[in-house]
Amino acid sequence: MPLPRTPLLTPRLLLRPYEPADAPAFFALLHQNRARLHTSFPDRVRAVAAPAGAPAALAAFADDWHSGRFYVLGIWLRATGAYLGDICLMPQTGGQAEIGYYLAHEAEGQGYAREALAAVCRFGFDAVGAQRLLVRCFADNARGQAVALAAGFRPETPPPRFAWFRNADAVGSIRRFVQEKSMGE
């Protein structure tokens, strides 16, 4: 049974699944931040290269939510309704789920990512039933690493990879941070 598309509220933020009417704001934020988001979110940037791509991406997010494959929430400032970015949770094997997030450049440095991450951690552990959450950041993304640490994540050494398996984690450009569900939760 699919999870209900229930918004998450924090003191300053509204996190909710996207609706079709969000397409213009979704495209505008990606377009305005395309150069800096391209490395971390290449599929998203490529899929929404023009305004016509935004409705299809949002429809895919709704399908993914329904199937339980991927949970994507837009982030809005409650006081003004301004769209700030998004955060997603992707269930993986063994009770793990990975979280990714981005904000508009002008929304960074105000604690919004930390606030959104805390809400999605609760969602991941409670509604999704994850036992372990993972955030990956590029090694040069000090802000992203600080957000993960402030939200209670701890650094993790990447798992060993076979020499023939080429992947960004294996060459050291990615830092991994994990948070595990406490036994009392």
- Write out pLDDT tens, residues 53-109: 999 999 999 999 999 999 999 999 999 999 999 999 999 999 999 999 999 999 999
Do 38 and 44 meet the contact criterion of CB atoms below 8 Å apart? no
Q: Dump pLDDT digits (tens) for 40-50.
A: 888 899 999 99
- In this structure, the chain runs to a length of 185
Structure tokens at 67: 């199937």
- Tokens, residue 154: 């701890």
Please indicate whether residue 162 or residue 141 has the higher confidence score (pLDDT). Answer: 141
Domains in the chain: boundaries:
9-134
| pLDDT band per the 50, 70, 90 thresholds, residue 170 | very low
Q: What is the pTM of this model?
A: 0.90
Is domain 9-134 given the CATH code 3.40.630.30 in the classification? yes
SS3 content of the chain, % helix, strand, coil (to 5): 40, 25, 35
